[in-house]
Amino acid sequence: MGKLSIVKATKALREHHGVILYAAEACGVSRQTFWRFMQEHPELEEVRQECDEVLLDIGDKHITTALNAGDMKTIRWYQERKGKNRGYNTRVEQTGADGGPLEYGAVERRVVDPENTEK
């Protein structure tokens, strides 16, 4: 497909949502060649990161749609991640006093025979 250029690489990255393998194939080069070209032109990494942000925005849109539709699985997932400060969390953290490490001690066990007790 010809020699790589910043314009061609930028277009391929945007068309393929920042996936380097697909962008490389669109440019007719190997993934390694495309990767090296990106290393030589740091502005292409910025383009790839911009593509990631666009995908996150698209994901946010679909999450919002699911939340508005009352999708309980999505609601629970969202609350556990975004609502931690409101107590929506399934992760349990155990610490000692004042957030310190847990302290372990020995437990003494005694066997009591109910038939052999003193009255």
Structure confidence by residue, pLDDT tens digits, 5-24: 999 999 999 999 999 999 99
Structure confidence by residue, pLDDT tens digits, 26-63: 999 999 999 999 999 999 999 999 999 999 999 999 99
DSSP class of residue 41 equals -
Residue 118 pLDDT level (bands cut at 50, 70, 90): low
Residue spans of the domains in the chain: they are: 6-87
What global pTM score does this model have?
0.61
Residue with tokens 């090296």: 36
Which secondary-structure segment (H or E) carries 99?
none
Dist. CA 96–CA 102, nearest whole Å: 4
| C-beta of residue 9 within 8 angstroms of C-beta of residue 41 | yes
| C-beta of residue 16 within 8 angstroms of C-beta of residue 47 | no
Give CA separation, 17 vs 21, 77, 93, 100, 108, in Å: 11, 25, 37, 45, 62
Q: What are 83's two structure tokens?
A: 């609502």
Give CA separation, 54 vs 12, 14, 73, 108, 112, in Å: 15, 10, 24, 60, 68
